[in-house]
Structure 1
């Protein structure tokens, strides 16, 4: 098979399934992994596909950072469904943590606790939303405010986290890669998210179906650090199964 025929075959497989793996292509075309990787690189340079870990995809697997003012209008219905489903995880926690992002902010908007709780957050919008909410006391983390996320990050916030603990952390992400883990699109906030995970007894990731198969630039944790993933009904069943096999409880809103 010539290089042109290989490229036509690869693009044909992508059109049929949306994704291809290097291993499968090696078996089907009977060439080495080195050859397939070169083919995928050439096709990506021509903007015909996106290379992924172990293969290629027609969809961009890399999560891009968008301003929070723009993100709040994307998949608004799904975020509402996720927020309502997340409320079932409150249980008897007297202290919880809410990260930054539009999905966890939607959860904060729907948070109406029956008993007094303390909410720890780096997100200004979350703090303002809950500051006058009945039965809620807010601990706002300090630090440099990032305009894109309206949230603080950096050494001051991380220092405060070293002195507190909470029952559960509700965290948003920009990407869930079933091989790589949970990621966000900003390196500065990644360190803070990791410290938040260390400060919580359990971790819940809130993410709609579009976050699956994507990677942000900064990895925040592997699957074994997460206890719950709350997502919407459009998430692929195989993705849910993969998470459950990793020991994560998946809640579908």
Structure 2
């Protein structure tokens, strides 16, 4: 019995959620229909606002083509980020040194580490530094360099060189998007480069990503999914993603 449009729709959108993009010829093989049928399906889904057609297939529709300013991002998915931050903080052991990248999810970690005098925090993020100066009782290292007013963080060759001077226990990094096709991505090339360097300087890398990041590919590649030790997300993350991460050897924890 041939599949109805609604059946094909579920499969197409499911593939799009996992991969971030789909190819018409692959979908035709998967669903055992003609590429013309798939093209008509993609046309219909584009009109519904579910995707954007490109040559040979379609990509996931992005709500934001550029990353919102830091303060705006801090208000987005606030409850989810707070839960993820609390879970991340619970993984920091006594006496550890941790790296926090310039993310709004990593900012939440400090709230739950504020009384940990045994922990050392290192960051290149000005918002995280400011919050740490106000509330954190442990040791603070600022990884300086050229200050970028747009990112509100130190970036560039000097930041990279300073990171080379240290080896830490854990790096907590954020991202712009996660997809099977492109792995972990960020909106900015310089931020992606710093996240990669932090991964190199840490014994363990923990990725923080709320459910809105899954299935998205943004501008700059950070790393393959398999290169992180663990991923922390919220309860809105589809179970298919959790299963996929486990199959890749990445431990995935869900914050409640």
TM-score by length of 1: 0.82
Is contact 2:177–2:213 with CA below 8 Å preserved after alignment? yes
When the two chains are superposed, the root-mean-square deviation of aligned CA atoms in Å is 3.3
Aligned to 1:208: 210
Aligned to 1:30: 34
Structure 1 residues 174 and 111 mapped into 2: Cα distance closer, same or farther (>3 Å)?
same
Following TM superposition, by how much is the alpha carbon of 1:212 offset from its aligned partner in structure 2, in angstroms?
0.2
Deviation string, structure 1 residues 201-239 (Cα, Å, up to 9, x no partner): 000011100000001100111122101111100100000
Q: Which 5+ residue runs of structure 1 have no aligned equivalent?
A: 1-8
Structure 1 residues 53 and 241 mapped into 2: Cα distance closer, same or farther (>3 Å)?
farther
Structure 1 residues 114 and 152 mapped into 2: Cα distance closer, same or farther (>3 Å)?
closer
Following TM superposition, by how much is the alpha carbon of 1:52 offset from its aligned partner in structure 2, in angstroms?
8.1
Q: Distance in 1 between matches of 2:58 and 2:14?
A: 6
Structure 1 residues 17 and 179 mapped into 2: Cα distance closer, same or farther (>3 Å)?
closer
Structure 1 residues 50 and 249 mapped into 2: Cα distance closer, same or farther (>3 Å)?
same
Matches within 5 A, 1:38-187: 49-51=51-53, 55-56=57-58, 59-60=61-62, 64-133=66-135, 135-187=137-189
Q: Distance in 2 between matches of 1:166 and 1:237?
A: 32
Aligned to 1:18: 13
Q: Distance in 1 between matches of 2:136 and 2:14?
A: 48
Q: 114-123 or 187-196: which moved more?
A: 114-123
Q: Distance in 2 between matches of 1:36 and 1:181?
A: 26
Structure 1 residues 58 and 98 mapped into 2: Cα distance closer, same or farther (>3 Å)?
closer
Following TM superposition, by how much is the alpha carbon of 1:80 offset from its aligned partner in structure 2, in angstroms?
0.8
Structure 1 residues 95 and 63 mapped into 2: Cα distance closer, same or farther (>3 Å)?
farther
Deviation string, structure 1 residues 64-109 (Cα, Å, up to 9, x no partner): 3111011111111111111111122102352110001111111122
Q: Distance in 2 between matches of 1:133 and 1:125?
A: 12
Q: Distance in 2 between matches of 1:40 and 1:213?
A: 17
Q: Distance in 1 between matches of 2:98 and 2:216?
A: 27
Is contact 2:177–2:217 with CA below 8 Å preserved after alignment? yes
TM-score by length of 2: 0.81
Matches within 5 A, 1:233-252: 233-252=235-254
Secondary structure of the 2:75 match is coil
